[in-house]
Amino acid sequence: MADRRLAASLILSRTPIAEQVALVRTFEDAGFDRVFFGEAWREPVVPLAAALAGTRRIGVGTAVSQMFPVNPVVAAQQAAQLDELGRGRLSLGFGLGASFVVERWFGVPFERPLRRAREFIDVVRGVLASPATGPFSYDGEIFRVRKYSLSFASEPVQVPVHLAAVGPRMLELAGEVADGVIVGALHSPASMERTLKRLSSGAARSGRTFADLEVWFYLTCCVSADPARARALARRSLVYLTQYPHYRQIYEAEGFGQVVSEIAELVHDRKTDAAEARVTDEMVERFAIAGTVTECRDQLRRFDDYPGTPILHLIPFRIDEDEVLESLRLAGSLAAPASQTTLVDE
């Protein structure tokens, strides 16, 4: 564990930005590699700017920022300005989002997702490179740009672009066109092996190998002085994921199809207490880490053979944000030397 890189994700709603920045500083002091901001109840650009301005060393990025609601030229402008605040510390993680969220919240038809993702990354990269290559033009099937330059940048903006991917075709696209991949919140050794095969296949299309890609994987994590409470809260995050078809498929592939169908039906009927009760201990052990700092440190060892870096997160689904924040603060201790763990638990 001493050499394990760790990242954390903040997906928060009512927590003030200043308090979120203070939490990022906690992770910076703890030695975390990066803190990501997810786009859910808040858009990520303003918290990113505050975090970069309020820290000195830690990497900061989006994981993930949705592609459907925003134009890629605007996304590149935002990235270039954020890079001014923290040279070399920014990463961009883009994702498609769920179709029902895109259409319900943003009024954008969820059409041609793979083509949109490919062209989106092309445009972002082209705009960021324009200080060196000259005015950028692009004539895609979805996006068209005519002679745009970043007038405020004197040199190309070097920001890694990662793609969130769950399905096989999106994983192959990430391997082909992105600097790295952000794997979703459910995985196992078997599913990760399938993921690596798809990434390698995509990378080969552009003359690369898997070694050229950076891998980040979300990992449900709940840390508490009360291990029973930690496991109960982890169950709530796992219940939340049953609402998404791509995660349902992973549950099914891992042998939990029947129980997850029952959970999803209970959630649909607003019987969430009963849904949480249906989450088995095996599901928690397979897909999450939960318990005290010592227990979570031990559980993290299950992922020592995984490629890439875990992104610790806890979805505030029927969980008070104060409890989410407390779990995240304690999770910062997972990067501390093991000799300090007992003091943290106490």
Query: Which residue blocks in the chain are alpha helix, DSSP H?
Result: 17-30, 45-53, 72-85, 99-106, 113-133, 168-177, 189-205, 227-241, 245-253, 257-268, 272-278, 281-287, 293-300, 321-331, 341-345
| Cα gap 224→331, rounded to integer Å | 9
Q: Three-state DSSP class for 221?
A: strand
Query: How far apart (Å, rounded) are the C-alpha atoms in residues 43 and 10?
Result: 12
The pLDDT of residue 336 is 66
Q: Write out the two tokens for 81.
A: 């300005």
Give all domains of the chain, ordered by start, each with its CATH number.
7-63+160-226+290-345 (3.20.20.30)
Q: Are 186 and 253 in contact (CB under 8 A)?
A: no
Query: Which regions of the chain are under pLDDT 70?
Result: 1-3, 336-346
The two beta strands, 136-139 and 144-148, are: antiparallel
What the block records as the tokens of 197 is 């095969």
pLDDT of residue 1: 43
Tell me, what's the pLDDT at 338?
Answer: 53
The most distant pair of C-alpha atoms in the chain lies apart, rounded to whole Å, by 60
CA 143/CA 121 separation, integer angstroms? 11
**pTM summary value:** 0.93
Question: pLDDT at position 81, please?
Answer: 97
Which region holds residue 110: left if phi is over 0, alpha if psi is between -120 and 50, else beta? beta
DSSP label at residue 303? G
Q: Rounded distance, CA 245 to CA 255, Å?
A: 15
For residues 36 and 10, the answer to whether their CB atoms sit within 8 Å is yes
CA–CA dist 227, 208 (Å, integer): 44
All residues at 6 or more sequence positions from 323 whose CB lies less than 8 Å from its CB, including other chains: 224, 233
Which residue matches tokens 């031990």?
298
Residue 342 is predicted with a pLDDT of 45
